[in-house]
Amino acid sequence: MISIIVATDDDLLIGKKDSSNGMPWHNKEDLQHFKKTTLHQTILMGKTTYMAIGRPLPHRKTIVVTRGELDDERVEVRHDLVETIQEYKNKKEDLFICGGASIYKQALPYVDELMISRIPGKHEGETYFPSFDEYNFQLEKETQMETFVLQIYKKG
Ligand SMILES: NC(=O)c1ccc[n+]([C@@H]2O[C@H](COP(=O)([O-])OP(=O)(O)OC[C@H]3O[C@@H](n4cnc5c(N)ncnc54)[C@H](OP(=O)(O)O)[C@@H]3O)[C@@H](O)[C@H]2O)c1
């Protein structure tokens, strides 16, 4: 299954440039949810998100997409996002698309599932999750966590 995993606020904000890790908030519970979901899995992210995190996340295979070069032996560098997604679809392996905005936007037509942590409130930042109205996702499950609502959408 190809999944998007993302945390957004009420306005679908996802990123803030001058924060320590690129996120507009510090939400420990969401970080734990992200860790639990992606541990020992393959995660894919754009170069900007990778640079904002600053290192590969432990115990996960990390694919970083860039149209340029990235000299980092700790991750697998790919130059074609859609080709990489199709490869995982074909071999029926799970892939977690972890952002950022430009990667989410391009991946939306190909993913089977959206896993959205809805962080309540409005925050400061400049990067937003794209609208996904046109892709026919249906809300399948909604779980009230302590500090956010976890929504699972599947493609209809
Ligand atoms: N809230 C969340 O859950 C969450 C999750 C992830 C990220 N974020 C935030 O989102 C922000 C970053 O988003 P962003 O849109 O600016 O950047 P991004 O999507 O992380 O990365 C963009 C870069 O990825 C590469 N790229 C994009 N499309 C590509 C393609 N089709 N093939 C190959 N490479 C491709 C390009 O790298 P080159 O320029 O090197 O070619 C591009 O500059 C940060 O603030 C981050 O913290 C939030």
Establish if 94 belongs to a structural domain: yes
User: Would you call 130 exposed, middle or buried from its count of C-beta atoms within 10 A (0-12, 13-18, 19+)?
Assistant: middle
Instruction: Kindly state whether residue 42 falls inside one of the protein's structural domains.
Output: yes
pLDDT digits (tens, 9 = 90+) for 16-51: 998 988 999 999 999 999 999 999 999 999 999 999
Has residue 144 been placed in a domain? no
Q: Residue 33, by phi and psi: left (phi above 0), alpha (psi -120 to 50) or beta?
A: alpha
- CB count within 10 Å of CB 79 equals 12
Expressed in angstroms and rounded, the spacing between residue 36 Cα and the centre of ligand 1 is 22
For residue 125, is it within any domain?
Answer: yes
For residue 108, the enclosing domain spans 2-135
Tokens of 122: 């409005």
Q: What was the pLDDT predicted at 75?
A: 98
- Tokens, residue 20: 């320590």
Q: Which of 20, 65, 86 has most ligand 1 atoms within 8 Å of its beta carbon, as the pocket-test mutant?
A: 65
Cα 130 to ligand 1 centroid, rounded to whole Å: 13
Q: Name the token pair of 63.
A: 């694919």
Task: Give the burial string for 39-75 (b: 16+ CB within 10 Å, else e).
Answer: eeebbbbbbbbbebeeebbeebebbbbeeeeeeeeeb
Mean pLDDT confidence for 68-96: 97
Using a 6 Å CB cutoff, which residues line ligand 1?
6-7, 14-15, 22-23, 45-49, 52, 65-68, 79-81, 98-103, 106, 127
Look at residue 10 and tell me if it is in a domain.
Answer: yes
Does residue 90 lie within any of the structural domains? yes
Residue 92 belongs to a domain: yes
Cis peptide leading into residue 15 (ω within 30°): no
**pLDDT-derived band at 9, boundaries 50, 70, 90:** very high
Q: Please report, for the domain that includes residue 26, its CATH number.
A: 3.40.430.10
pLDDT at 20: 87
Q: Which residue CA neighbors atom 21 of ligand 1 most closely?
A: 46
Q: Is 141 a member of any domain?
A: no
pLDDT, residue 115, reads 98
E strand segments, the chain: 2-8, 13-15, 42-46, 61-65, 76-78, 95-97, 113-118, 127-128, 137-144, 149-155
Q: What total number of domains does the chain contain?
A: 1
What pLDDT score does 16 carry? 96
Candidates 102, 78, 79, 115; CA nearest to 2 is 115
Question: What tens digit of pLDDT does each residue of 83-135 get?
Answer: 999 999 999 999 999 999 999 999 999 999 999 999 999 999 999 999 999 99
For a mutational test of ligand 1's pocket, the pick from 31, 63, 66, 123, i.e. the residue with the most ligand atoms closer than 8 A to its C-beta, is 66
pLDDT of residue 21: 87
